[in-house]
Amino acid sequence: MSRDSAHRPSRVGPATTPGHRAGPLDIDALLDDPATGIIVCCGSGGVGKTTTSAALALRAAERGRKVVVLTIDPARRLAQSMGIEALDNTPRPVTGVEGGGHLDAMMLDMKRTFDEVVLSQASPEKAKQILANPFYIALSSSFAGTQEYMAMEKLGQIHRDAQAAGTYDLIVVDTPPSRSALDFLDAPERLSSFLDGRFVRMLLMPAKGPAKLMTAGIGLITNALTKILGAQFLKDLQTFVTALDTVFGGFRQRAQQTYALLKADGTAFLVVAAPEADALREAEYFVERLSEDDMPLAGLVVNRASPEPGGDLSAEEAMTAAERLRRTGDGALTAGLLRLHADRVRMVERERTLRDRFATAHPQVATAVVPALASDVHDLDGLRRVGDLLARRH
Ligand SMILES: Nc1ncnc2c1ncn2[C@@H]1O[C@H](COP(=O)(O)OP(=O)(O)O)[C@@H](O)[C@H]1O
Ligand SMILES: [Mg+2]
């Protein structure tokens, strides 16, 4: 497939041809293109990122690709049906995949990923010290952005392994349910600035350099801190920061590599959103943020859209008919059904207006619309159905 076919992710910018609209997203072309190596599903919490990631991964596998999906917080039953309810941080084969491809799935264990990095970077003795440090324990399980950071780290790891061993040709990545969208783009930067911050530098100094380098000022501050925080606390903190500095040199560099990987041509971002005003506004923010970082955007997925009601009765016609029935006192049930129909038609129209508004603001973003299914998506059949709907172009 040619590199410049219509589905290729675009670097979204203002410099598009006026009047050009990207239209429907061609999911199958994206999944089938051997040049697509990474798909990242992002969006605010609860919109269907995990479901979309799993559905895309399954579809790609069933169309013949060697796929791994990295999920963050799959709903319990979905995880069970994919064989990943155990958090062991290793991709496991999903059983029941049809066709010639292959699907592995894993659920990200943030703390474990962190531990793995420490174990791979520090000497066994030093690693043991770090893993037992109270600050490390707190940071690895709760530092703002750690989950985002670890998702990046795991993506980098899997990508390196896949390249070395040829295990996968497509990695589908789910992103954490962060309130501040796209935190994972900021995470390496945030971590770096934390480590390069003055407070951390200051703590590093006494441990690192000869004592005479420690200025009287810093000595005073350290003494004050010792009084306030207690000697053990400060000692733990120093050990921790020193250790991090050793470990994180490589960490930072890898984060930068992963960031570059996200920007590369083989990557495609999909922004997932609910068909609501707030959600689509947030999706616009995502699209703009991706564009600022020059990340390749493949399109927008509007998930859980209201299903189109059957028939061609308009909302007005249905309401007029319902009103007539109400006046004659006949057919209360029919009148109720007509009103329900009118509500559904209006809802579908409202959602279409919202999508049109988005498309006008971002004409270059191709869109897929996935209607809400009658029930939650918790097994491979459900994922297949979502996959079919994603690939349906209309
Ligand atoms: N198109 C859909 N139809 C019906 N249920 C859906 C659909 N998409 C997602 N869901 C359900 O919505 C819930 C949230 O989806 P999930 O993918 O976990 O969202 P996120 O990962 O964005 O937080 C899940 O219970 C999932 O089964
Ligand atoms: Mg999720």
Q: Does domain 21-309+349-390 have CATH number 3.40.50.12780?
A: no
- Residue 302, both tokens: 């509007």
Domain residue spans in the chain? 21-309+349-390
Residue-level pLDDT at 380: 96
Cα(179) to centroid of ligand 2, in Å? 12
pTM, two decimal places: 0.82
Q: Does 49 sit in the ligand 1 pocket, CB within 6 Å?
A: yes
Residues 6 or more apart in contact with residue 180 via CB below 8 angstroms: none
Question: Could you tell me the distance, in angstroms and rounded to a whole number, from the CA of residue 93 to the centre of ligand 1?
Answer: 22
Most ligand 1 atoms within 8 A of CB, residue of 81, 373, 376, 388 to mutate: 376
Which pLDDT does position 145 carry in this prediction? 62
Show pLDDT as tens, one digit a residue, over the chain (394 residues): 444 455 667 655 444 455 577 889 999 999 999 999 999 999 888 899 999 999 999 999 999 999 999 998 888 899 999 988 776 788 999 999 999 899 999 988 878 888 888 888 888 988 888 888 877 787 777 655 667 777 888 898 899 999 999 999 999 999 877 655 466 666 666 666 666 655 555 555 544 444 444 445 555 556 665 666 666 666 777 777 766 666 666 666 777 788 889 899 999 999 999 999 999 998 998 899 889 888 999 999 999 999 888 778 888 888 888 888 878 777 888 888 888 888 888 999 999 999 999 999 999 999 999 999 999 999 999 999 999 999 998 6
Considering every ligand atom, which ligand is closest to the CA of 270? 1
For residue 365, the one-letter residue type is V
At residue 314, the pLDDT reads 87
Q: Is the CB of residue 372 below 6 angstroms from any atom belonging to ligand 1? A: yes
Rounded to the nearest whole angstrom, what is the distance from the C-alpha of residue 87 to the centroid of ligand 1?
Answer: 21
The alpha carbon of 79 and the centre of ligand 2 are apart by a number of angstroms equal to 11
pLDDT at position 110, please? 79
CA 47 / ligand 1 centre spacing (Å) = 6
| Ligand 1 closest atom vs CA 371 | 1
51 lines ligand 1 (CB under 6 A): yes
Query: Which of 377, 384, 385, 386 has most ligand 1 atoms within 8 Å of its beta carbon, as the pocket-test mutant?
Result: 377
